[in-house]
Amino acid sequence: MAETIVAGRTPRRGIWGWMLFDWAAQPFFTVVTTFIFGPYFVSRMATDPAMGQAAWGYGIAAAGLVIAILSPVLGSIADQTGPRKPWIGCFAAIKIFSLCMLWFAEPGSALVPVVLLFSLASVAAEFSIVFNDSMMPRLVSKEEIGKVSNIAWGLGYLGGMIVLIFVVAFLAGSPDTGKTIVGADPLFGIDPRLGEDARATGPISALWYFIFILPMFLFTPDSGKGMAIGPAVREGLAELKSTLREVRKRSGIFRFLIARMVYQDGVNALLGLGGAFAAAMFGWTITEIGIYGIILNVIAIFGCLVASRLDTALGSKAVVVMSLVLLTLATIGIVSTGPGYTLFGLWQMPGADGPGLFSTPAEKAYIAFGLLVGIAFGPVQASSRSYMARSVSADEAGRYFGIYALSGRATSFLAPFLVASVTAAAGSPRLGMAMIILFLLGGLLVLLGTPYPADEAE
């Protein structure tokens, strides 16, 4: 029998079990999507970086479309069936299988099967997040939601960073020496010339996910109506239709969801494509892109810890607004930087590439702009989650977090599609990445006029 859940009185181990879900899930986004496998796919599997970025962008877009269509349906069904853990377990199995299969993505392999596997893993990961997030209002009081959400997100970045450090230090070999950054041969007989250091991130992320979601299954309370799946589907679909009509009458929540739909699209594209963009522009190796990712994750952890206090003191909306401003400035800086210059050429940075990591001034400028991304991309997502949780009741959390996931994915195919299409048409990854700025600014403008919490009268 499931434990009785009283918001704010959940056993401490239950809260930690829930927060460890982010710790378990994040390495997929860190080492597969952004910093290791994604750049490997773009720079080594494709015949040229522009085509690789376009293919990767279309894969992210395809996953986003599926997530947008099905997330609210699954959220409503979850409210009827009650327990979330069976759903999370089902999607975990799909995600783990897909990630393990990435091991076979050798250089020169067909791109489409690899993109499909990555998209399937992305869909399963996001569906699991819908069910995990919808548990939060039953576990934590509204006063503590912002703090717990940001700490959980910070734990996620710590987990992602640990896996990233492991890959960079013990698997990623130099193209010149074959040695890792610590001067040793890659573990397990990994051959970097065959891309095995990047390909291994799939199975490693799968194993990490399997191990660290276990505390949530063992210790976190999970209860609900317990309706059979057949009637639950019928009731869930009817409830979804009702909720979609209802949310339009709740103007504050509706406006917040529209704002998040726009800015989250930009955030997703920036996270999914930023690492590959840097690798292609500067010719970074897996070691360099991995260290760049480690730097961003260290900053992200501190960003989430600071945001956990700011969310409690100033509210979720203030944290989201500040984060979007930083992300917009960072994206402008990133697309304005190239070999030998930054700020669109207004600041010339002479200097040839030399020995050592990040040896040119332009690379250092790129990393400086990346630090702003590191500060903001955790809080913008964690405080958006707490913004929503503070705006709905525990009983309606499943269906509203399903729509929340829809708002984060309804047009999530649009930004990657636009980036990919502009890149392909213009032959310029830089011009393609600039499209992300439109989404960040658009979402920010809508959010500024949104009440907080979103269910309060305007």
Q: Of 69-73, 161-165, 264-268, 349-353, which range is least confident?
A: 349-353
DSSP alpha helices (H): ranges in 213-360?
A: 214-219, 229-249, 251-282, 286-314, 316-335
Residue 458 in any domain: the answer is no
Name the domain count of the chain.
1
Q: Of 285-294, 306-315, 382-391, which range is least confident?
A: 285-294
- Span 138-167, mean pLDDT? 82
State yes or no: pLDDT of 57 exceeds 90: no
Write out the DSSP string of 187-201.
Answer: GGG--GGGTHHHHTH
State yes or no: pLDDT of 360 exceeds 80: no
More confident residue, 19 or 340: 19
More confident residue, 194 or 355: 194
Query: What is the C-alpha to C-alpha distance for residues 300 and 327, in angstroms, rounded to an integer?
Result: 13
CA-to-CA separations, 27 to 30, 34, 82, 155, in angstroms, rounded: 5, 10, 28, 11
What does the pLDDT read at residue 421? 81
* Cβ atoms within 10 Å, residue 369: 18
Residues 6+ apart with CB under 8 A from 242: none
Q: List the beta bridge partners of residue 338.
A: 341
- Span 74-82, mean pLDDT? 67
Expressed as residue numbers, the domain containing 29 is 12-220+231-448
- Span 88-113, mean pLDDT? 91
CA-to-CA separations, 163 to 294, 363, 374, in angstroms, rounded: 10, 24, 17
What does the pLDDT read at residue 457? 47
What does the pLDDT read at residue 344? 60
State yes or no: pLDDT of 140 exceeds 70: yes
Per cent of the chain over pLDDT 70 is: 81
DSSP alpha helices (H): ranges in 140-228?
A: 142-170, 196-199, 201-212, 214-219
Mean pLDDT of the chain: 79
Residue 457 in any domain: the answer is no
The single residue listed with the structure tokens 């989404």 is 439
Residue 226 in any domain: the answer is no
Binned at pLDDT 50, 70 and 90, residue 7 comes out as very low
State yes or no: pLDDT of 332 exceeds 80: yes
- Span 314-329, mean pLDDT? 91
What does the pLDDT read at residue 405? 67
DSSP character for 203? H
What does the pLDDT read at residue 353? 54
State yes or no: pLDDT of 397 exceeds 90: no
What does the pLDDT read at residue 8? 45
- Span 32-36, mean pLDDT? 82
Q: H or E stretch including 374? A: helix 361-389
Instruction: Check if the beta carbon of residue 99 is closer than 8 Å to that of residue 202.
Output: yes
Residue 74 in any domain: the answer is yes
Which tens digits make up the pLDDT trace of 414-435?
A: 777 788 788 777 777 777 888 8
Query: What is the C-alpha to C-alpha distance for residues 144 and 121, in angstroms, rounded to an integer?
Result: 31
Residue 252 in any domain: the answer is yes
Binned at pLDDT 50, 70 and 90, residue 185 comes out as confident
Upper half-sphere CA count for residue 244 (Cβ side, 13 Å): 13
Query: What is the C-alpha to C-alpha distance for residues 250 and 307, in angstroms, rounded to an integer?
Result: 27
For 190, phi then psi, to 5°, come to: -60, 135
Per cent of the chain over pLDDT 90 is: 17
Residues 6+ apart with CB under 8 A from 258: 407, 446
- Span 172-190, mean pLDDT? 76
Locate 399 and state its tokens. Answer: 């269906």
DSSP character for 355? S
Residue 7 in any domain: the answer is no
Residue 221 CA, distance from chain mean position: 25
Which tens digits make up the pLDDT trace of 221-235?
A: 876 555 656 666 666
Residue 289 in any domain: the answer is yes
More confident residue, 178 or 105: 105
Q: What is the CATH number of the domain that holds 213?
A: 1.20.1250.20
Instruction: Check if the beta carbon of residue 262 is closer than 8 Å to that of residue 442.
Output: yes
* Cβ atoms within 10 Å, residue 225: 11
State yes or no: pLDDT of 150 exceeds 50: yes
State yes or no: pLDDT of 215 exceeds 50: yes
Instruction: Check if the beta carbon of residue 260 is closer than 8 Å to that of residue 253.
Output: no
DSSP character for 338? B
Query: What is the C-alpha to C-alpha distance for residues 167 and 287, in angstroms, rounded to an integer?
Result: 9
Instruction: Check if the beta carbon of residue 215 is closer than 8 Å to that of residue 17.
Output: yes
